[in-house]
Amino acid sequence: MKNEQVVTAAQMKAIEQAANESGLLYIQMMENAGRAAWAELAGRFPQPGRLLVVAGKGNNGGDGFVMARVAAKSGWQVTVWLAEGEPQTPDAITNRELLRTLPVTVLPAEQCPDSRGWNAVVDALYGTGFHGALRPAGQAACGLLNQSRAAGAFLLAVDLPSGVCADTGVAANGAVQADLTVAFDSRKPAHTAPEAAIFCGEVRLADIGIPEECHRI
């Protein structure tokens, strides 16, 4: 994939809407995104290990649920923490339900997991819609992710590290510092902003199947 376009959060929403209207449904984009992010993570581990997915209530969390499902089917021991409660968007709800038939431990918001003992942790808390300051629950979730990384886990951020504004690269106090950020379809300004580099880590661009014509926004 050689898409050098840098788009704002609003432009990305328009691109996704155009793709949905052209027949690539939102839920399929979520599936493609989760699988692409998982492929980037799995490629760094020769053997299955222990994975923690920290999931938010929106579609970023839905991407994390896809990752959790594929990881569990690949032999990983998977725990999902619903850091801000159950998902609220239809496609995220659908993918959360698919975890019920798998050996995946799902923890409610009030049951914070240990920060130690993970081979990899996934930041699927917020996506491109974040701006401003972290709420207390978000601050706690980002703190756990950063503590897990400090304890030796590899930290992958889904689309953007939580606490970083997509359009400016400005990071809120307590933002996630990732080893790897997997950007979907197009880079956002934060992915190329020097001030966000310490939070994004390595940035990899993933193709999620959006047709080229949908980028003419």
User: How do residues 125-160 score in pLDDT, each as one tens digit?
Assistant: 998 988 899 999 999 999 999 999 999 999 999 999
Question: Over 60: is that where the pLDDT of 1 sits?
Answer: no
- Can you give the pLDDT at residue 2? 58
pLDDT confidence tier of residue 89, bands split at 50, 70 and 90: very high
Cα(5)–Cα(129) distance, rounded to whole angstroms?
A: 19
Q: Is residue 1 part of a domain?
A: no
Question: What range defines the domain where residue 64 resides?
Answer: 9-215
Q: Is residue 86 part of a domain?
A: yes
Please give the average per-residue pLDDT across 105-111, as a whole number.
98
Please give the average per-residue pLDDT across 179-197, as a whole number.
97
- Share the mean pLDDT of the chain: 96
What are the φ/ψ torsions at residue 150 (nearest 5 degrees)?
Answer: -60, -30
Q: Is residue 2 part of a domain?
A: no
Buried residues in 56-69 as b, exposed as e (16+ CB within 10 A): bbbbbbbbbbbbbb
- Can you give the pLDDT at residue 129? 83
- Can you give the pLDDT at residue 36? 98
Q: Is residue 4 part of a domain?
A: no
Q: Is 75 left (phi over 0), alpha (psi -120 to 50) or beta?
A: left
- Can you give the pLDDT at residue 131? 86
Cα(160)–Cα(13) distance, rounded to whole angstroms?
A: 15
Strand partners, 124: 55
Number of domains in the chain: 1
Residue listed under structure tokens 């089917």: 73
174: domain CATH number?
Answer: 3.40.50.10260
pLDDT confidence tier of residue 179, bands split at 50, 70 and 90: very high
Q: Is residue 3 part of a domain?
A: no
- Can you give the pLDDT at residue 188? 97
